[in-house]
Amino acid sequence: MERYPVIPPADLAARLPAGFRLGAATASYQIEGAVDEGGRGPSIWDTFSHTPGMIMGGDTGDVACDHYHRWESDVALVADLGLDAYRLSVAWPRIVPTGSGAVSQEGLDFYKRVLTGLRERDVDTVVTLYHWDLPQPLEDAGGWPVRETAERFAEYAGVLARELGDLVGTWTTLNEPWVSAFLGYASGVHAPGRTEPAAALAAAHHLNLGHGLAARAIRAELGDDASVMVTLNHHAIRPADPSSAADVDAARRLDAVGNRIFTGPMLRGAYPQDLFEDTAHVTDWSFVRDGDEALAHVPVSALGINYYTPTIVRGLAEGEEPSSSGGHGEGSATPWVGATGVDFVEPEGERTRMGWLVEPSALSGMLRRLRDDFPGLPLIITENGAAYEDEVSTDEDGGRAVHDLDRTSYYSGHVSAVADAIDDGVDVRAYFAWSLLDNFEWAFGYDRRFGVVHVDFETQERTPKDSALWLRDLARSHRDRR
């Protein structure tokens, strides 16, 4: 398939506002390793990855990128690439090993070292409180489907705000709660691997509640001006045929359980009524208590958006079976609870190693819709990137190189799409590439590489790919224009 043309970094930098930030992102379980060091307790991903058959190749995150021991060189790498910002996540079981109660000073000290190193290099930070590594004891007590997990999450948030608040630029409470709820508790392709549709909806509610409680806990420690946001994998959903009532309704159903189940409580203070109607055969939603939706609704400084590919759907005829789960792994059950009679359309076009369609215009279109739905709310692209087959070669000077033109093209097209949205008046404040490093890619283990920096998992050698050098030049060009 023909790639999108790579735009010269200086040309693209000229289209980005002066205050725009360019960065890269990572997540704790995917890079840190050292799962039994520094007082860290077990997480659901430790348990899940050690369960036979759950992870491609039998891989685990036990070592990953060994970032726990190599954080200084990784922080220097961020600075060497000229990035304005770095998004990282804190491992809850490294701070509160059993999920509640005693706090690990060793864990706090580790993140203090990392955040101080970034500050010394003038790199702004976005810190994610929860990127899926729930302490295993909390899952043993019921996990996100039970209310107490949200309450423990707020306690953990308060600890981080109190101990790390002077080193953090922006807090994001949750990363992709849709994945936590529906891949973890409905389709079972992510930890903890449960296939319980009613529990998945309860998990979504308690994630909403946890967001609101955690944001309040942060601001109770740091003041009302503390910068707090949440990151959603807001699906760019559209009907295959806009003139088909069946396709339009299929898109509505996915939008309800894929998007509005979170934006409703978090940003409007109420669940959408059609979500209740679509899922009435699954649950009566009695886990929602009076006042919960108001608790989930907290003013946010920005909304984080993770975008990789569009979701194109059609309505199924009676008796017709869906052909896929929409690019979210092929589990024994659907992650789309309540959205029956929906199929996912896979049109022709360039695809990544994940099989995901490359369509930058869907990103700019989604940003415009979010602007229209939530006027005045700043947006941040907290993840955007692609997995491709990478080949390490030797350059003329004898050094290692990875000439990843596909990934460079992907970034060029998508940063340009963000610039298109900005040109249309959308308030987009920052863009984070996913990911800084090749890492443990969840159920795919080490088989999928998203990093702009290649990691040799045998030697832990880091090699910036051409995509990293393109992002470096974009960041430098943009900085020069300020």
Return the active site residues. 176, 383
* DSSP string of 175-208, one letter each residue: E-HHIIIIIHHTS-SSTT----HHHHHHHHHHHH
- Reading the block at residue 4, the tokens are 């999108």
| Cα separation, 3 vs 412, whole angstroms | 10
- Reading the block at residue 257, the tokens are 């359980």
- Reading the block at residue 208, the tokens are 């909403």
User: Taking the mean position of all CA atoms in its chain, how far away is CA 433?
Assistant: 11
| Cα separation, 149 vs 349, whole angstroms | 42
At residue 99's C-alpha, the angle toward residues 158 and 42, to 5°, is 135
| Cα separation, 386 vs 150, whole angstroms | 32
- Reading the block at residue 268, the tokens are 């409007």
User: Taking the mean position of all CA atoms in its chain, how far away is CA 106?
Assistant: 26
Q: How many helices (H) and strands (E) does the chain have?
A: 18, 15
Residue 289's CB is within 10 A of a number of other CB atoms, namely 11
| Contacts of 441 by beta carbon, 8 Å cutoff, 6+ apart | 30, 387, 447, 448, 449, 450
